[in-house]
Amino acid sequence: MRRAVVRGTGHYLPERVVDNDFFAQTLDTSDEWIRSRTGIERRHFAADDQRTSDLAIAAARAALDNAGMQADQIDAIVLATSTPDFTFPSVATMVQAGLGMTRGFAFDVQAVCAGFVFALANADGLIRSGQADRVLVIGAETFSRIMDWTDRGTCVLFGDGAGAVVLEVADGDGSSDDRGILSTDLNSDGRYKDLLHVDGGVGSTGTAGVLRMQGNLVFRHAVEKLADTAHRALDKAGLDSDDVDWLVPHQANLRIISATAQKMQLPMEKVVLTVADHGNTSAASIPLALSVADRQGKFQEGDVVVAEGIGGGLSWGSVVLRW
Ligand code: UT7
């Protein structure tokens, strides 16, 4: 059976680091409120001349280096973003050109904060079906470009960054002992589209718009739906919570992450946390967390890793893989 195995990880964070006190200068907020309600201490913001594709290219190069591969060995790029440089072409094709890659195919996936999970599931499908042997999967965002800087309920939460993984085909026997992606679980429910959305776009206002969120409602959906999807994906893989070595959740809010871990009966020692340093980087948050944890030497070959995320749509899902 064809399995998609992680061969390399990489990430890029813009140089500019912004701490919570920055927001207290102009808004009725405080470092104490942001830390205690979200776990966020700082985030990175892209420079004025940095676009999502620049962040993505840097992360992709780091992941290729880490995998010991050249760009021309890659068959496909699947890139998750909701903050593309342009309406089209896709950021993925810009990454392709930026890497000097002259073969294969590249496309973007848009599922907001669940984007990387959706991208991984797509890449897994491409590999399983034989359409690609090596896929670069990227999450890259510049959410600082779609903030309402007068809305304390949203602008303190988000940051910019990019993360990438290289997947390569490997033979497995189809059991849960195989290395690689073992199962995926994807969900959307468009009835909740207004809870978290951007109030502009090419087909409506003709502007980029800014992010709007009913945070406390999204919070409730997140806690319920993230534990659910993780359990479903584990079930599909023939595993349960006891088998999980690492949970790599979307990094939106430490309270959501702790509540999900508790529902899954996982100790926090098994949870990868980057929310304090990165804030919510939407589709970039999971690959950033994977890459940071990989650099820290957390993952051992054979470890069961569960990645899960939820975002606008609502869309949510999870991926179970053996490192
Ligand atoms: O990435 C996609 C998924 N997104 C998420 O998962 C985000 C989910 N939501 C959250 O993380 C949380 O709901 C927030 C962090 C956004 C808000 O925390 P909360 O505990 O749900 O607060 P709340 O929205 O219920 O607001 C409580 C109070 C309100 O004041 P009043 O009405 O009680 O007087 C807010 O106006 O906190 C106020 N507030 C703030 N106060 C100081 C909201 N933002 C701030 C702020 N500083 N930055």
The tens place of each residue's pLDDT in the chain, 323 residues long, gives 999 999 999 999 999 999 999 999 999 999 999 999 999 999 999 999 999 999 999 999 999 999 999 999 999 999 999 999 999 999 999 999 999 999 999 999 999 999 999 999 999 999 999 999 999 999 999 999 999 999 999 999 999 999 999 999 999 999 999 999 999 999 999 999 999 999 999 999 999 999 999 999 999 999 999 999 999 999 999 999 999 999 999 999 999 999 999 999 999 999 999 999 999 999 999 999 999 999 999 999 999 999 999 999 999 999 999 99
Instruction: Tell me, yes or no, if the pTM score tops 0.95.
Output: yes
Distance (Å, rounded) from C-alpha 195 to C-alpha 311? 10
Q: Give tens-digit pLDDT for 278-301.
A: 999 999 999 999 999 999 999 999
| Ligand 1 probe mutation, 219, 251, 281, most atoms within 8 A of CB | 219
Catalogue the E-assigned strands of the chain. 2-12, 16-19, 42-45, 76-80, 105-109, 134-142, 160-171, 180-188, 196-198, 211-213, 246-249, 304-311, 315-322
Q: Give tens-digit pLDDT for 40-79.
A: 999 999 999 999 999 999 999 999 999 999 999 999 999 9
Structure tokens given for 110: 């848009």
DSSP string, 69-105: --GGG--EEEEE-SS-SSSSS-HHHHHHHHTT--SSE
Distance (Å, rounded) from C-alpha 201 to C-alpha 214? 19
For the CA of 285, the closest atom of ligand 1 is: 1
Structure tokens given for 157: 């939460």
144 in Cβ contact with 160 (< 8 Å): yes
| Ligand 1 probe mutation, 22, 29, 33, 37, most atoms within 8 A of CB | 37
Residues enclosing ligand 1, CB less than 6 A?
Answer: 29, 33-34, 37-38, 113, 152-153, 156, 215-216, 218-219, 222, 252-253, 256, 280, 310-311
Atom 21, ligand 1: residue with shortest CA distance: 216
230 in Cβ contact with 318 (< 8 Å): yes
In the chain the domains, ranked by start, together with CATH numbers, are 2-171 (3.40.47.10), 180-322 (3.40.47.10)
Cis before residue 120, ω within 30 degrees of 0? no
Phi, psi of 301, deg, nearest 5: -55, 130
Distance (Å, rounded) from C-alpha 16 to C-alpha 144? 12
